Structure 1
């Protein structure tokens, strides 16, 4: 199994949850990239025209995919060293500790936002009147379904991060 380079005091469940959260975006990102380059994914021609893809809308689809994957990968920082100490390539902050409260609040807001998005996706997919083929609707639901897990996984890892970082350290002997 592929493993992320986690800190020694991170339990296996938190490592798996962080990796899972980071990967939840990948299927939908690949689906959007397919649309951006003109690969048919079963949508009606009017839906491609509405997205202006392929075309100028492709920049939006690629940008959305990159930004969402960037935020998903940030979850790994909650179980790796770069979530506790700023990496050396970040000017002015390199080597300094990452403040626990701002990191936890931002991750918590992200967990809340992605949980709401997941719930809205389920609601929308059950009530949408899409102009897509049966396999296109099926594919859309399959690639976006993992996003339902993003918020809860991020939330669990965020709580663990906060508890781990704020736990009283043992007194030196």
Structure 2
């Protein structure tokens, strides 16, 4: 089995959800980058190396975390890839993928849900950004609120496919 093949077929909608997850995270990752030099208020900043590293690392790590969702629809989320010494080809227990995916999906839903509540309660006028940035911030951050529920939907599809396979002796 190569890294894209799975034991049982993955529904087409699950593939689409897996592709959507990095796309809903990407706008926020890109939106953060102007913070490095302009602080989103238009005033030039003098960022420290630590500030630059933090913003870039947060964006890169966010995208990596989003890309890990592909493990729920690809073979490398079911069997250890061939390049891993000693473990190559071993079946991955469903719980090894389901527990982090469910925990991450619930955490993202809770954290981003709090953001959404605050954004709707206080509105963009309470945001510290320049007026144009407020609209952009609300849009990209609002889109990112889909990340947690999408991971939970994908984890459920993985559960249905993998646990059914394990119960049926595959």
Aligned ranges for residues 23-102 of structure 1 at < 5 Å? 23-36=23-36, 38=37, 40=38, 42-43=40-41, 45=43, 53=47, 55-102=49-96
Quote how far apart the aligned CAs of 1:122 are.
0.8
Q: CA deviation at 1:125?
A: 2.2
| CA root-mean-square deviation | 2.4
CA deviations 1:58-93 (Å, max 9, x no partner) are 111111111111111111110011111122333443
Contact 1:44 1:131 in 2 (8 A): no
CA contact (8 A) 2:21 2:66 kept: yes
Q: Distance in 2 between matches of 1:65 and 1:102?
A: 25
Paired position in structure 2 for 1:135 = 132
Q: 1:42 Cα shift?
A: 3.4
| Runs of 4+ more than 6 Å apart | none
Gaps of 5+ in 1: none
Give, in whole Å, the separation in 1 of the partners of 2:63 and 2:102.
17
Deviation of residue 41 (structure 1)?
Answer: 6.8
CA distance in 1, matches of 2:137, 2:10: 35
| Aligned: 1:169 with 2:163 | no
Structure 1 or 2: larger helix share? 2
Q: 2:99 aligns with which of 95, 105, 110?
A: 105
Q: Distance in 2 between matches of 1:162 and 1:27?
A: 29
Q: What is the number of equivalent residue pairs in this alignment?
A: 161
